[in-house]
């Protein structure tokens, strides 16, 4: 029964229109991106002697927004997100979180593929630690405006994207590179 229900939901999701059909149409979306890259924010040392680097572009981003179809060729897309990277051990944790706002223009190459470019500003960036990892401390790098280049292929209401984000942070006089590549899934409704 579960497999039948799952298949029905997947078929329904994939059966929608690939892009907003008419100019002037607005639709919502939710998405998930997995990214990697950037400068090391913290080096985490575990009690077993292993280490892990926390990079400024690493993590998962949950987002939601609106996609406005301007005309046959162009769409304007805006989103608000929550970008998180965390390490968990039995005795401690280090977390880097931020709230990115993105605004992009997307060019529709055909009914299923489009490319986009735009800007992203990460707000309220914060690194925090607890337990055995508390030596990392807590600090809040200031996010700076960055560029996004995005390619997306649509399977009905589901979009698969590959993107490059060039962003940076400052912490006092130090500049931190948060440039990263990510892959993502978007669901349009």
Check residue 11 and give its pLDDT: 45
C-alpha torsion angle, residues 96, 31, 121, 181 (rounded to 10): 70
Check residue 17 and give its pLDDT: 45
Q: CA 150, CA 145: separation in Å to the nearest integer?
A: 16
Cα separations in angstroms, 84 against 11, 96, 111, 163, 184: 31, 6, 32, 17, 14
**Picking from 41-45, 64-68, 122-126, which range would have the lowest pLDDT averaged per residue?**
41-45
pLDDT at 21 over 80: no
Check residue 62 and give its pLDDT: 98
The pTM of this model reads: 0.85
Q: CA 139, CA 79: separation in Å to the nearest integer?
A: 26
Q: Nearest to residue 118, comparing CAs of 160, 163, 154?
A: 163
Q: Which backbone phi and psi does 23 adopt, to 5 degrees?
A: -55, 140
Q: Nearest to residue 178, comparing CAs of 107, 127, 136, 103?
A: 127
Q: What is the mean pLDDT of the chain?
A: 89
- Domain CATH for 34: 2.40.160.20
Cβ distance 141 to 169 under 8 Å? Answer: yes
Q: CA 92, CA 133: separation in Å to the nearest integer?
A: 5
What pLDDT, in 10s, does the model give residues 85-134?
Answer: 998 778 888 999 999 999 999 999 999 999 999 999 999 999 999 988 88
Check residue 149 and give its pLDDT: 98
According to DSSP, the residues that pair with 106 across neighbouring strands are 75, 116
Domain containing 123: what range? 2-188
Q: Nearest to residue 48, comparing CAs of 109, 106, 4, 89?
A: 89
Domain count, the chain: 1
Identify the band that residue 5 occupies on the pLDDT scale cut at 50, 70 and 90: very low
Q: CA 76, CA 120: separation in Å to the nearest integer?
A: 14
Query: How many C-beta neighbours within 10 Å does residue 96 have?
Result: 26
């Amino acid at each position: 029964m579960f497999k039948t229900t799952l298949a029905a939901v997947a078929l329904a999701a994939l059966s929608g229109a690939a892009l907003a059909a008419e100019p002037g149409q607005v639709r919502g979306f939710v998405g998930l991106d997995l990214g990697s890259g950037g400068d090391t924010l913290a080096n985490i040392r575990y009690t077993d002697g292993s280490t892990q680097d926390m990079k400024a572009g690493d993590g998962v981003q949950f987002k939601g927004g609106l996609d406005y179809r301007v005309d046959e060729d162009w769409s304007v897309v805006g989103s608000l997100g929550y970008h998180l990277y965390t390490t968990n051990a039995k005795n401690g944790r280090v977390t880097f979180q931020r709230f990115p706002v993105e605004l992009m223009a997307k060019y529709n190459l055909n009914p299923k593929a489009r490319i986009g470019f735009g800007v992203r500003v990460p707000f309220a960036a914060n690194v925090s630690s607890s337990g055995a990892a508390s030596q990392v401390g807590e600090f809040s790098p200031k996010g700076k405006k960055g560029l996004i280049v995005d390619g997306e292929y649509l399977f009905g209401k589901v979009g698969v994207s590959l993107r490059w984000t060039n962003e940076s942070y400052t912490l006092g006089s130090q500049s931190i590179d948060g440039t990263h590549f990510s892959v993502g899934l978007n669901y349009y409704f």
